[in-house]
Amino acid sequence: MRHVRERCVWSQRITHRDLVPYLIEEAHEVIEAVETEDRAGLREELGDLLWQVLFHSAVAAQDPDDPFDIDDVARGLTEKMVRRHPHVFGGAVARTPEEVLVHWNAAKAAEKRERRSVLDGVPAGMPALARAQKVLGRAAKVVPVVERAEGETKRVDSESALGDALIALVAHARTNGWDAERALRERIRLLEDEVRAAEAGLDR
């Protein structure tokens, strides 16, 4: 990475902002490899995602005001994981996954004391369905999240009503422990298979 940053004229001009589309694309390619159980693809895509982390760190190392490098990133991550796993690195006890989450959330809350809302920290750039699922999970701690999915789609006669129906379906997904974003991705994949099969039939 150091050689590429120093010797490649394209890479020398790249900023954090320039890298964002590539980071999103590589993350989605990792997700696709996981969901399609493509082991060779997963190995390759994890490498591409790691390259993005290395690239961002190389760009950050050249910042004149607040430089940090990949060693600083790794050190910060190590310290965070030690704090959030007191049942592994300390004297705390966690015998179930639920008890692990109690320790994790307590450590996270201590780290994020400046947050004033349960919604703080939910990235604005998340895909809409995934963000809706995250926001609903946080909102349920403060206000009653009423599930209205049953029959909601029958009243969709405007874009606003469509938004209501979608949020109701996401609430329904959360109630059942389903991942709305993954469900839609996998259904789209089935549709893509149907389209390609139809196209193959037309080619004969």
The pTM score is 0.72
pLDDT for 203: 67
Q: CA separation (Å) from 162 to 127, 147, 178, 191?
A: 17, 15, 20, 22
Calculate ∠ Cα 98-27-96, nearest 5°.
10
Least confidently predicted of 10-19, 29-38, 49-58, 190-199: 190-199
Nearest alpha-carbon partner for 143 in 103, 169, 110, 171: 171
pLDDT at 174: 87
pLDDT for 74 equals: 97
- Model pLDDT for residues 159-180, shown as the tens digit of each residue: 888 888 888 888 888 889 899 8
- Look at residues 168, 135, 127 and name the one whose alpha carbon lies nearest to residue 149: 168
pLDDT for res 49 = 98
Model pLDDT, residue 128:
80
Angstrom distances, CA of residue 94 to CA of 34, 82, 110, 138: 29, 14, 19, 24
